[in-house]
Chains A and B, each alone.
Chain A
Amino acid sequence: MSGIRVEAPPPLKKFAFLDMPEISDKLLDFKEGNRSKVRLFIPAIHCASCIWLLEHLHTLHHGILYSSVNFPKKEVHISFQNDLISLRQLVELLASIHYVPEITLQDMEGSTSRKSDRKLLIKLGIAGFSFLNIMTYSLAEYVPGGDAIDPKLKQLFAILSFVLILPVVLYSANDYYLSAWKGLKHKIISIDLPITLGILALFVQSSWEVFSGTGIGYMDSLAGLLFFLLIGKWYQGKTYQALSFERDYRSYFPIAVTKVEQEEEVILPIRELRKGDTILIRNQELIPADALLTEGRANIDYSFVTGEAIPQSRHPGDLIFAGGRQVGSTIKLIIEKPVEQSYLTQLWNQSEQKSEKLSLDNLINQISQYFTAIVLIIAFTSFFYWIATDLRTAVYVFSSVLIIACPCALALTVPFTFGSTMRVFGKRGFYIKSTDVVEKIYRTTCLVFDKTGTLTLNRKMKTRFEGEPLTSSEQQLIRSLVQHSSHPLSTALYDTLPAIESLEVDQYEEIPGLGITAVIGTQRINIGSRLFVTGSETGEDAQESRVYIGFGNQMRGFFRFSNLYRANLKQVIDTLSHKYELHLISGDNDAERTRLETIFGPSAELHFNQSPTEKKQYIENLKKQGKQVLMIGDGLNDAGALRESDAGISIADDVFSFSPASDAILDAKQFAKLDKFICFTKQSFKVIRLSLLISFFYNVIGLSFAVSAKLSPLVAAILMPLSSVSVVAFATLTVTLLAQKKLNPELSTH
């Protein structure tokens, strides 16, 4: 076990804002008399004993009536008696058993409901119910001897089928009508248009047969068709509930902040912060708005913003940008800009313009343009061909063509292929927002990387000692001292120095932003900035991080820290550089340029000293040149670029708690597979092409029946489910097998 460090205890007043009625009322789902209900997001939920513990909260406090866990969402629902325990006490109780709820500004603005998901399930249930029942009525006619059924019974079956199909056509299918209509209004022929035509043709033709008493029609095929289509929709829509892809600054910022008003501390919701307010920021608290430091030594950890793990020190009079976290003592700040107008939040608001639009550029919609046209041409030609012989046959052939060409299998190809791709990626730590994103990754021509935190490791650094080499007893002294500090540089030092027995440390003191000092035996040791160790700042290099070591008053030398790149970075970049155009945009200085040039090779473009806005513009420019851009970043400073790009992947050490808004989240531990993930989308696309071939093959068979006026309900009832099932089985099986072959490291070929 290396480096166990006790986390700094949470500040006592951290949850004080929950005592404010205007805040707590918004967080509560329900409040009546002395009973309240609340829903809290707790990222720490991960196992069965978490559920056990959280559902036995009532044994820890008698004010808690009931608690239940929603595991996939990592939420706990608690109902409690608010006269016995306040919301704040409840949250503090949870925090004390290490289940710290995450309460952010976003929770204040009402939670998003998942009603649409439930609606889809109900539609699916109704379609399934009708499908199975109608099938039992129709089956009798398909088996040998079916002709012998009593005509009265036949009539009853037909009427029952008609009654059962009504909720399917009127309710279960309504999303298709709406979407087809929306597409038409925007002059787009989406895949839903031929589906709608097929549904209508099936319904009209079958109803006519039922009421003219000629038969039962295609009711079973119609119900089955919708049942399969809705299963596809459901499969595609299943996503990762506990992950949030839509985070904006509101998910990171606290709800309230301590304001100093006439020497008194009051809690103020951050929405009400105005320019000129004085606020107090304690250890581990986030700075909510751009502000001027007035008192105290600020030591700001911007790792959420830039990915840079080493805190930056600021002096009174400096401007501090929002988004940083104070590490160390309490500081006082004067607000310069309200929260919404701060530098980072503005960047966010700008890029929020990118709204959802009906996209034409996805493969299925492109195909459906031609598909619909061809089907209509075939339908009309055969109609005019048959009109010469018999009008009734001509109408029958026309609707038969529309029925059999209904692109059920075609519409299922993408949901199932990309849906399975999403699942195999998800199992391996790469979480994708929706199936559209898989296609966007496939279309990518150009990859843009951020450096700090994306290519480099967040919490590990390479160290080199400058000066006379340290003796092993000196190393022992340094290691014993840094063991007591949780500063990232101390951690890095502790990890690099050889493991020797630790010595007893006396008079330990940590001065935030400066360094640590203590006495070991008779020796005083100072470790920290040049100012701290030598008393003068001259000779400090702003380009890199250094930690100076002093024994007594004697400066012994310094450690030089440099970023450590992620394992397998070279190999990942090598593979990708053969297939894509590579770019790097970093907010850092170009101290690492030569090293990165050797990794990225001569053809890649490297840019340094880029501000968040410049990063975003860079992506815009690439897009203007007609490139399909995939951005890979991590911090809030990449958020603009991630949103602007065609597909944005954010890399996160903890996928549940911190990642900027993006289309996909990659678990940092899986970075070595990034190239395989990206290249795998090409395999998925091959699977789609093959599945399309299969579905066209079925369509050709079906159409040959239809145009020759031989399409019977039996043929439809066999052909339509068969084509759907075979396409679905082919797509899911091939993707899963390919993933086992290509994505599992032990079997991979390169």
Chain B
Amino acid sequence: MEAIFFLIIIGVVVAGGFLAAFIWAVRSGQYEDDYSPSVRILFDQKKPKKKKDEANSIQDNDTIDKKKEH
């Protein structure tokens, strides 16, 4: 009997936690753009500062050139 009371409380708390997470997600605008996060996750992480500038500037030029082609 006590187990059931205990479970009910846990159930409400857990579900309430998810509700709070959902409300936070909506408020922070996560449902407004459902495409770019899926792309963003594929981006390379930032590299150490010194190397990054060179590497990225070459990559950037590549992409810009590609853009101009089409």
Contact = CB atoms under 8 A, between A and B. Distances in A.
Nearest to B27: A118
A102 interface: no
Nearest first, the 6 closest Cβ-Cβ pairs linking A and B are A71-B35, A71-B36, A59-B56, A48-B39, A129-B19, A125-B22
Contacts of B39: 48, 51-52, 71
Interface in B11-26: 11-12, 15-16, 18-19, 22-23, 26
A148 to B, nearest CB: 13
Interface in B28-70: 29, 31-36, 39-40, 42-43, 52-53, 56-57, 60, 63-64, 66-68
Contacts of A55: 40, 43
Interface bin, chain A = 20 to 34
Given A51-B36, A51-B39, A136-B11, A125 B23 contact: yes
A133 interface: yes
Nearest to A126: B19
B10 interface: no
Given A59-B57, A60-B60, A156-B5, 19 more contacts: A48-B39, A48-B42, A53-B60, A55-B43, A59-B53, A70-B32, A70-B36, A73-B32, A73-B33, A97-B67, A98-B64, A118-B26, A121-B26, A121-B31, A125-B22, A129-B19, A153-B1, A156-B8, A160-B8
Given A59-B57, A73-B33, A98 B67 contact: yes
Contacts of B64: 53, 97-98
Interface in A54-78: 55-56, 59-60, 68-73
Contacts of A97: 64, 67
Nearest to B57: A59
Interface string A131-162: 01100100000000000001001001000100
Contacts of A471: none
A49 interface: yes
B11 A133 contact: yes
A279 B18 CA distance: 60
A59 B15 contact: no
Nearest to B64: A97
Nearest to A119: B26
B60 to A, nearest CB: 6
A53 B60 CA distance: 7
A72 B33 contact: yes
Nearest to B66: A49
Contacts of A117: 32
A729 interface: no
Give chain B's interface secondary structure class. helix
A114 interface: yes
A73 B60 CA distance: 24
A358 interface: no
19 contacts: A48-B39, A49-B63, A51-B39, A53-B64, A56-B60, A59-B57, A59-B60, A70-B36, A71-B33, A71-B36, A118-B27, A121-B31, A125-B19, A125-B22, A125-B23, A129-B16, A129-B18, A129-B19, A156-B8
A122 interface: yes
A132 B19 CA distance: 12
Interface in A567-595: none
A133 B39 CA distance: 35
Contacts of B15: 129, 132-133
B63 A53 contact: yes
Which residue of B5, B52, B67 has the most chain A CB atoms within 10 A of its CB atom?
A: B67
A117 to B, nearest CB: 8
Contacts of B27: 118, 122
Contacts of A69: 33, 36
A156 B11 CA distance: 14
A51 B16 CA distance: 35
Contacts of A114: 32
Given A70-B36, A150-B1, A160-B8, A98 B68 contact: yes
A98 B69 CA distance: 11
Contact of A125 (B26, B40, B43, B60): B26
Contacts of A133: 11-12, 15
Given A53-B67, A56-B60, A59-B60, A122 B36 contact: no
Contacts of A136: 11
Nearest to B28: A118
B36 to A, nearest CB: 4
Contacts of A150: 1
B19 A56 contact: no
